[in-house]
């Protein structure tokens, strides 16, 4: 009889151990996925350094606890809709270097105010649950008693399904993040992105003249063609055509180069009669910036 009771207790203890191990393994899977997400959700630096930057963040994530990871995720990548979001440069951010292009990539999930409150509370609860399992389970249940083992077993079942729910939510976020990355990658390779990012032509057809490539070409031509501070447009266009024949007024919604110079509001324009008497020619010079 004593032997049978001992066997029942040992089996009950093994069930507790097995279920605790199941919970801990699922928590570790959750933690690994969260680390992988955070490693690439906020990257900045020169384009050629982004992969190395991700590796550095991944290495830094390995040292962090679940509680720290969750605080970082909720603090940096979860936001409530219609709440003022941080757009200012962070304190201590690296100063930009003139002439060195830098890229900053940041992802976040926007939730309704109610969903935001529920989600942050749920994540905090998950961290508390993890800490409870790691540090206090045998304080809560005396597993030297069979009935306590059964109570612990039921408790661990509830914990597992709570953890599993968190894993499924995190997996959904990870899949959404991957989908956004694919779409972003496709957009970056599109003509629309090249027009906006490289040439200053916005998707709605308007032009950001100050950062447009055609204005940059006109200013570059000034360095080689100007005479007493003014640049003959014909000489500038010959140079621009050799460098980039795609730079034409119609690309920027203009009919003529003179119209482009006026619309850009980046140059002063004047017409002068050619010394040879061949007619009038347009000259330009950059306005002070």
Q: Is residue 92, in this structure, part of any structural domain at all?
A: no
> What CATH number is attached to the domain comprising 227?
3.30.420.610
Q: Are residues 110 and 162 in the same domain?
A: yes
Q: Are residues 210 and 268 in the same domain?
A: yes
Q: How far apart are CA 108 and CA 77, in angstroms?
A: 4
Q: Are residues 181 and 227 in the same domain?
A: no
Domain span at residue 277?
198-286
Q: Are residues 55 and 134 in the same domain?
A: yes
Torsion 222-227-233-238 (CA) sign? negative
233-265 confidence digits (pLDDT tens): 999 999 999 999 999 999 999 999 999 999 999
Q: Are residues 142 and 54 in the same domain?
A: yes
108-166 confidence digits (pLDDT tens): 898 999 999 999 999 999 999 999 999 999 999 999 999 999 999 999 999 999 999 99
pTM of structure: 0.69
Write phi, then psi, for 269 (nearest 5 degrees).
-125, 145
- What lies within 8 Å, CB to CB, of 58 at 6+ separation is 35, 36, 39
26-63 confidence digits (pLDDT tens): 999 999 999 999 998 888 877 778 788 888 889 999 88
């Amino acid at each position: 009889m004593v032997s049978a009771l001992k066997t029942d207790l040992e089996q009950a203890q093994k069930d507790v151990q097995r279920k605790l191990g199941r919970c801990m393994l699922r928590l570790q899977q959750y933690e690994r996925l969260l680390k992988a997400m955070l490693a690439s959700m906020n990257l900045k630096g020169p384009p050629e350094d982004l992969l190395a930057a991700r590796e550095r963040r991944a290495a830094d994530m390995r040292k962090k606890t679940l509680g720290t990871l969750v605080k970082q995720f909720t603090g940096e990548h979860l936001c409530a809709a219609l709440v003022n979001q941080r757009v200012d440069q962070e304190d201590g951010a690296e100063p930009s270097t003139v002439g060195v292009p830098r890229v900053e990539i940041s992802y976040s999930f926007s939730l309704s105010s109610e969903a935001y409150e529920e989600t942050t509370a749920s994540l905090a609860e998950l961290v508390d649950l993890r800490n409870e399992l790691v540090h206090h389970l045998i304080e809560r249940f005396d597993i030297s008693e069979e009935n306590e083992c059964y109570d612990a077993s039921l408790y661990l079942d509830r914990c597992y399904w709570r953890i599993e729910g968190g894993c499924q939510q995190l997996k959904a976020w990870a899949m959404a993040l991957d989908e956004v990355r694919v779409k972003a990658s496709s957009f970056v390779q599109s003509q629309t992105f090249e027009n906006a990012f490289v040439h200053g032509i916005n998707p709605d057809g308007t032009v950001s003249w100050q950062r447009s490539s055609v204005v940059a070409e006109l200013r570059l031509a000034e360095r080689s063609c100007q005479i007493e501070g003014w640049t003959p447009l014909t000489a500038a266009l010959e140079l621009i055509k050799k460098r980039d024949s795609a730079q034409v007024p119609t690309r920027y919604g203009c009919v003529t180069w003179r119209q482009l110079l006026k619309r850009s509001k980046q140059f002063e324009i004047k017409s002068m009669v050619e010394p040879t008497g061949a007619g009038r020619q347009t000259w330009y010079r950059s306005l002070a910036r």
